[in-house]
Amino acid sequence: MNTYTARPVAPEVLRELRTADDAGRPATAVTDREGGAPLRCCLRRSAPGERIALVAYAPLRRWASRTGADPGAYDEQGPVFVHADDCAGPDAPEDGRYPFANAHRTVRRYSARGRILGGALVETVDEEALGNAFDDPAVALVHVRAVEYGCFLYEVRRPGEAP
Per-residue model confidence as pLDDT tens digits over 128-155: 999 999 999 999 999 999 998 889 999 9
Q: Whole-angstrom Cα distance, residue 66 to residue 162?
A: 12
Q: Which of 90, 32, 29, 24 has the alpha carbon at shortest distance from 57? A: 24
Q: Read off the pLDDT of each residue in 29-41 and give the average, rounded to a whole number.
A: 96
When pLDDT is cut at 50, 70 and 90, the band that residue 1 belongs to is low
Helix count and strand count (H, E) for the chain = 3, 10
Contact partners, residue 125, CB within 8 Å, separation at least 6: 98, 100, 101, 105, 107, 144
Q: Whole-angstrom Cα distance, residue 102 to residue 124?
A: 5
Contact assessment for residue 5 and residue 163, using Cβ atoms and an 8 Å cutoff = no
When pLDDT is cut at 50, 70 and 90, the band that residue 94 belongs to is low
Q: Which of 144, 40, 143 has the alpha carbon at shortest distance from 89? A: 40
Give 57-116 as a 3 state SS string: ECHHHHHHHHHCCCCHHHCCCEEEEEECCCCCCCCCCCCCCCCCCCCCEEEEEEECCCCE
Query: What phi, psi does 64 have (nearest 5°)?
Result: -65, -35
Per-residue model confidence as pLDDT tens digits over 51-61: 999 999 999 99
